[in-house]
Amino acid sequence: MEKEDFLKLLPKLIVEDNEVKGAIITALSGIMATNHDIERVIEHSDKRFEKIDEKFEKIDERIEKVQEILISHTQALIQLNERTNNLTTNFSRVENVRNTEFQTLNGKIESLSEGQDIIKEQIKDIKELVSKKE
């Protein structure tokens, strides 16, 4: 009997002949997984997936904590930026006041200088008058 003929006959033998069916089951039992084997594989897989789920939950918790820290630091940086902007504004005001005061002081110094020059001239004139009278 050739292989092709045998393959055509085999399904009929499996259905109709219990001895052939038993021989095939016996031959396949060494290489085929039983229901018990499949259940054990499923249980093992379930346990591994549970462990993986637990690890992901822990990772999620860590990520949430990091996000909270980042939010807190972001808020602190925003406040620091606002304070820096306020300080910059205050320094600008102080600089403007200082410049105004320096201009005022410079004007007064120039006035004093001019006044001193006038006084020197007047003293010179007085000295000349006194020297002429002597």
Question: Can you tell me whether residue 64 is helix, strand or coil?
Answer: helix
Q: Is residue 24 part of a domain?
A: no
Q: Which domain holds residue 102?
A: 33-133
Residue 17 lies in a domain: no
Taking the model in full, what pTM does it have? 0.47
Residue 102 lies in a domain: yes
DSSP assignment, residue 131? Answer: H
pLDDT of amino acid 134 = 66
Distance between CA atoms of 51 and 53, rounded to whole angstroms?
A: 5
Q: Is residue 109 part of a domain?
A: yes
pLDDT of residue 128: 86
Cβ atoms of 41 and 33 closer than 8 Å: yes
What does pLDDT average to in each consecutive run of 10 residues of the chain (134 residues)?
86 88 81 84 96 97 98 98 96 95 91 90 88 76
Examine residue 5 and state whether it is found in any structural domain, yes or no. no
In a domain, 27, yes or no: no
Residue 124 domain flag: yes
CA pair distance 55, 50, nearest whole angstrom: 9
Domain count, the chain: 1
